[in-house]
Chain A
Amino acid sequence: MKTNDKTPLMRVQGLSVRLGGREILKSVSLDLYEGEMKVLIGPSGGGKSTLLQCMNYLILSDRGEIELEDRHVDPHNARELCGFRQQVGMIFQDFNLFDHLTAVDNVSIALRKVRGMGKTEARDRAMAELSRVGLSDKARLYPAELSGGQKQRVSIARALAMDPKVMLLDEPTSALDPELVSEVLTVIRSLAQNGMTMVMATHQMGFTRALADEVLFMQEGCIIEQGSPKELLAEGSGTRTLDFCSQILEVEGCTP
């Protein structure tokens, strides 16, 4: 997906964040093109999660600009902010499903209360999204009755229901038991194949090799390496990315 001649769908420029006196992000920039999948990797505390949350204004940056389709948003204007967030879906590591609502209500609540859809219409749409992630038979269950993998799939359905232009995924499989990872990755893979524009923080290296258009290696609040997975993970390339990934994979008992 090399579309560098086009204008980016989402543009992040010079984001800096200080939290509690520490610099979490140091002037981070990235251009996200339509249909592209970027993967953020790097040690924890490197700023991946903060960057993703900044891109949805869940954390306000001290400096820097975010543009979606060439439009800048004033995060202090509630209407603009809510409109922006509807277009940028967010998937969290620990799912954050609404615990008091069934799976189908988790998906439909924003359709009704934010989009103003009628009850039946919202329900039908929610059911369609649940079946897209393979969970139509779990619609009536509460989050506490679902497995981790099912919860994460519901949260993906919830984000997709808003028809986002971009999806931000913050380590979507890190809180899952190993045997549940693949069902979530399968859903994300099909999103990528259908052309969803995504930025995903993950340590799933096989997945990254197969699907990422670009890998961004973040450390201490900076993107210190970026490039295609082929370049960065090539044998003997001597990149920090390769070094880091070898360590992960060694732990998992395989070679890069």
Chain B
Amino acid sequence: MNETLTVLLDALPFVLQGAAVTVTAVVGAMFLGLFIGVPLAVGQVYGGRAVRFVCDTYVWFFRGVPILVLLFLFYFGLFNFIGLNLNAVAAATIVLGMTSGAYQSQIFRGSILSLPKGQLKAARALGMSDALAIRAIILPQALRLSIPGWSNEYSIILKDSALAFVLGASEIMARTHFVASRTYQHLPLYVSAAVLYFLLTWAGVAALRVLEKRVRIKGYVH
């Protein structure tokens, strides 16, 4: 028992550094996914045939291929092929972000479609271009409605980030595995890793709840 505790305490700073890596990758992937997902959603809803085709293809590809395959495909395959020399964490962040972009686009698409049609009409009637109307009227409302879906997406990416371990990214899972394979304290170490993931999920979801409350429009029930 004592030995277990010592191992855990010794491992803690090491694993917590991994938590910092995990959080960096997840937050990075969430934002990358946001920047990819919003234009994808706008393209799917408002784009012409060609734009819709490109957006649909992107979404189908990233939703249809397992993340593990994508990680290998990009890190060992594509990034190497185009001569991009990325470390494992950066590569994992990009792949997670691109995948998340496909999923986030569907969250945003749903939010955009749930807005009353009259919002765009009223904006056009005032002389706004469609681009301006989307930026100033549609997205501010759609993004607010997307926060609940977004917190779901966060919890998924957080857990998917453990897969970055296979690229050798030194995140929570990799460091836990490293300590466990040397000390043979598998059970307590992986329980600790599980608790850590759980806490990070909880904290992120709670933070998004706060954000949702903060940007809520008075009296607005949609």
Which residues on A are within 8 Å of B, measured CB to CB?
Answer: 53, 56, 58, 78, 82-83, 85-86, 88-90, 92, 94-100, 109-110, 113-114, 141-145, 155, 158-159, 162
Contact = CB atoms under 8 A, between A and B. Distances in A.
Interface of B: 116, 118-119, 121-129, 132, 136-137, 140-141, 144, 217-222
B125 A56 contact: yes
B138 to A, nearest CB: 10
Contacts of B137: 98, 100, 109
Given A100-B140, A109-B136, A85 B220 contact: no
A162 B126 contact: yes
**Which 9 A-B pairs rank lowest in CB-CB distance, beginning with the nearest?**
A144-B219, A86-B127, A96-B118, A96-B122, A90-B125, A110-B126, A85-B127, A82-B127, A145-B219
Contacts, number: 82
Nearest to A146: B219
A109 B126 CA distance: 10
A110 B127 contact: yes
Contact of B118 (A83, A94, A144): A94
B217 A99 contact: yes
A58 B220 contact: no
Given A90-B122, A99-B119, 14 more contacts: A78-B129, A82-B129, A85-B127, A86-B127, A92-B121, A94-B116, A98-B122, A98-B137, A99-B220, A109-B126, A113-B128, A141-B218, A142-B218, A143-B219
Given A58-B124, A142-B220, A96 B129 contact: no
A235 B195 CA distance: 84
B125 A85 contact: yes
Given A142-B217, A144-B219, A100 B141 contact: yes
Contacts of A145: 218-219
Contact of B132 (A58, A89, A113, A143): A113
A98 B220 contact: no
A96 B125 CA distance: 11
Contacts of A56: 125
Contacts of A88: 125
Instruction: Give the one of A100, A113, A143 with max B CB within 10 A.
Output: A100
Given A142-B218, A144-B217, A96 B116 contact: yes
B125 A89 contact: yes
17 contacts: A56-B125, A85-B124, A85-B127, A90-B125, A92-B121, A94-B118, A96-B118, A96-B122, A99-B141, A99-B222, A110-B123, A110-B126, A113-B132, A114-B126, A142-B218, A144-B217, A144-B220
